[in-house]
Amino acid sequence: QVTAKTAFLFILPQYNVSVPTADGELVQYHYGLKDLVTILFYIFIAIILHAVVQEYALDKINRRLHLSKVKHSKFNESGQLVAFHLTSVIWCLYVVVTEGYISNPRSLWENYPHVYLPYQVKFFYLCQLAYWLHALPELYFQKVRKEEIPRQLRCIALYLLHIAGAYLLNLTRLGLILLLLQYLAEFFFHMARLVYFTDENNEKLFNVWAVVFVVTRLFTLTLYILVIGFGLPRVESQALDPERGNFFSFLFNNILFRMSVLLLVCLFQASVMWRFIRFQLRRWREYWNEQSSRKRAAAAAGTKQQTKLLKRDSGYHENGVVKAENGTSPRTKKLKSP
């Protein structure tokens, strides 16, 4: 029995409480230090799943494609992220639909702070934190190139900052919607990279990703403005109360603070869009340069072919003598008198 209690500490979310409702009691959860033990257990689970995907899927595909070292590393990275993002999108969509966060957008800020979480919401956040923490030792296990480590560390740090921030500041509902939008765009990007590595002439999925990316950025910016600009300032409890999980909603009564936060959000989204536009311009420029070089090569090949045909029509020279195509001299032979 003692062992079972210890095992539950690693496997199941902790800090469950019974919250009274109109229909009776509802078991919900809040966070605490014991969550670190649960996250540690699922870090090991994520490492095992990572190895399974690598061994039984990605390595087999890599042996068929014969990619270079650089493409091999990028293919493995995109392959792992495609599996993770697809799973997370399906799981996150199921959570937000069943909890009613999409059908009722007001629930994103109503009754803030959202200290008590449903089981599936808390478990989702714990697994997300475990996955992005497991990505740190995977940099060593996967023997990632030194040039790629700063970029991947920056990406991991940003995800951990946003997920942990939403979890600790009791903004889990808004965090779920934002993660759904982000993971959807990332799934199409890494899927497009996988298709490109298998066939470099196939870039159609990059166009799909471009559309999804722009749409998700617009939805993300709209949500920030809706929740920060209009939702949180209307929360009834505006006093600073860390014990109840109310950390900063009182600040949104100050219009200067609220506008400053919205300005920072808009600047961040603008920087993301600027990098995206630069990437698209570079890709289109490379595409048109490749198309123009192909046209020049085709034109040069056509000129060579025409030259060959003209030579055949007019005959060719051999030892200073012009001969026709059949090897005979083009001059008329004199007939011998009988």
Dihedral sign from CA coordinates of 22, 115, 185, 220: positive
Name the band, by pLDDT with cuts 50, 70 and 90, for residue 18: confident
Name the band, by pLDDT with cuts 50, 70 and 90, for residue 291: confident
Can you give the pLDDT at residue 336? Answer: 47
Can you give the pLDDT at residue 42? Answer: 95
Residues 6+ apart with CB under 8 A from 53: 79, 80, 83
pLDDT above 70 as % of the chain:
84
Q: Which of 130-134, 168-172, 235-239, 325-329 has the lowest mean pLDDT?
A: 325-329
pTM here is 0.82
What would the pLDDT profile of 76-117 be if each residue is shown by its tens digit? 999 999 999 999 999 999 999 999 998 888 888 888 778 889
Q: Is the pLDDT of residue 323 over 60?
A: no
Q: Which segments of the chain are extended strands (E)?
A: 16-21, 24-29, 316-318, 321-323
pLDDT above 90 as % of the chain:
37
Can you give the pLDDT at residue 29? Answer: 92
Q: Which of 13-22, 161-170, 328-337 has the lowest mean pLDDT?
A: 328-337
Measuring CA to CA, how many Å separate 202 from each of 44, 194, 198, 306? 37, 10, 9, 32
In the chain, domain spans: 1-202
* Identity of the amino acid at 321: V
Name the band, by pLDDT with cuts 50, 70 and 90, for residue 248: low
Maximum average pLDDT range among 114-118, 146-150, 177-181, 247-251 = 177-181
